[in-house]
Structure 1
Amino acid sequence: MPDGVTTIAFDADDTLWHTETYFRLTQDRFADLLRDHADPDHLMERLLAAERRNLGHYGFGVKGFVLSMVETAIEVTEGRVPASTISRLLDEGREMLRHPIDLLPGAEDTVRSLAQTHRLVLITKGDLLDQERKLAESGLGDLFDGIEIVSDKVSQTYTRAFDVHGDGAARGLMVGNSLKSDVIPALEAGAWGVFCPSEIEWALEAAPAPLSASRYRRIETLADLPSLLTSL
């Protein structure tokens, strides 16, 4: 195995399948519902601020997002938001939780190919039930040797995951669409960190690229990962 990499960890949302697209569509509907109370740009600023405040309470995922929308709706209407609007927001959240999985280009072929040569681990954050549903519907679940659904991703997350499911972080590689959550903490743990950008980036996951890190790499799609491994 190239350069001692024995274990490859994958992020899930917006690395293996589309997710942020559906959040953005729901935000657009949210803006339509509240257009009489706030202009869209100001509303999105208020929503992002609510999401940032609430991460420590609700964690990542659809449920926390919906609660942040409800909170924002109450704030911008000064408590006068109609019950029908709250009901619509709850319906939007349930629809997001039912949305079928749409794998990203190259995801299935890459995971199936690398499962023959490496130990694979899925490391994702978010709501437990929703992430389990998406993994089951993806058809990829049986290809992973380990599944880690965590509340947040920090360097200790990767240290532990690569110790438990592999041969330690030094022989591990993490690939994902978030520099903040997938790449930088994996590098801090001593693993390779591979950035695979998504079409839409959530503002709370933005971070500068760690260009000076010797184990940092960037690919454009997951289909590029096997060839990258041969070059490490």
Structure 2
Amino acid sequence: MARKVLTVGLDADDTLWHNETFFKLTEARFRDLLGDFAEADHLAERLLEAEKRNIHHYGFGIKGFVLSMIETAIEVTDKRVPAHVISQILEAGQDMLAHPVDLLDGVQDAVETLAQNHQLILITKGDLLDQERKIAASGIDHLFTAVEVVSDKNTTTYARIFSQYGAGPETALMAGNSMKSDVLPMIEAGGHGVFIPFAEAWALEHAEAPEAHPRYHTLEALADLPNLIQDLQDDS
């Protein structure tokens, strides 16, 4: 018999509020800046390669993204990138760090509903200062029992967090827009993984869905999560 869901983990970026859209807009701005040096498709490939190389050095988030853009600009121009281009890349990153937090449709009501009967844990990865800023500005931070900003999301991360704040991942659920980070490791840890796709997705977060797994679920929006959890409770 399935165990009741007592603790609910929620991803932040592109699950609670807009995020990847700003990365895509900044990447388009980057392509325009380097348009005289490389074709758009080639530049996108080089930037993605730099991001992949640099994750272990810079972690996830805007600052690592900006450093990867600068590195790519230096590479594609054979170290001849103009200083004013570097300056505009830095300005683009600063614009991202100062952008207001816009909750996705239905998030406020869904989180308030979930908080009535469940312990909520916000689990996000990225730059600590930027994530703390967004969480504080979201207006829903008070609804969470705990906030965990982690360097990566994996099976060990979820086992630790849900054991610390609950009865372990077996009585928990994690919902987010990343199959690779929010869903697969949570299922491997023994809990439910809920995939809520977002229109824009970072290529490095793609992974195959475990369609046949009994603890895998997919929803169109976070607003549908309270009903899913109720259905799981009724079946337990």
Q: Equivalent residue of 2:124, what SS?
A: strand
Given residue 43 of structure 1, which amino acid in structure 2 is its aligned partner? L
Q: Which residue of 1 aligns with 2:54?
A: 54
Given residue 90 of structure 1, which amino acid in structure 2 is its aligned partner? L
Given residue 21 of structure 2, which amino acid in structure 1 is its aligned partner? T
Q: Which residue of 2 aligns with 1:180?
A: 180
Q: Which residue of 1 aligns with 2:35?
A: 35
1:23 aligns with 2:23: yes
Q: Which residue of 1 aligns with 2:11?
A: 11
Long gaps (5+) in structure 1: none
1:151 aligns with 2:136: no
After superposition, give the CA deviation of every residue in 1:161-203 in whole Å (9 maximum; x if it has no partner): 1001111110000000000000000000001000000011110
1:89 aligns with 2:89: yes
CA distance in 1, matches of 2:49, 2:30: 15
Report how many aligned residue pairs link the two structures: 231
Q: Which residue of 1 aligns with 2:220?
A: 220
Given residue 144 of structure 1, which amino acid in structure 2 is its aligned partner? F
Percent identical pairs in the alignment equals: 60
Normalising by structure 1, we get a TM-score of 0.98
CA RMSD, 1 decimal: 0.8
CA distance in 1, matches of 2:24, 2:108: 24
CA distance in 2, matches of 1:105, 1:165: 28
After superposition, give the CA deviation of every residue in 1:69-93 in whole Å (9 maximum; x if it has no partner): 0000000000000011000000000
Given residue 148 of structure 1, which amino acid in structure 2 is its aligned partner? E
Q: CA deviation at 1:3?
A: 4.5
Q: Segments of 4+ in structure 1 off by > 4 A? A: none
CA distance in 2, matches of 1:185, 1:120: 18
Moved more, 103-112 or 57-66: 103-112
Q: Equivalent residue of 1:173, what SS?
A: strand
Normalising by structure 2, we get a TM-score of 0.97
Q: Which residue of 2 aligns with 1:229?
A: 229
CA distance in 1, matches of 2:101, 2:199: 17
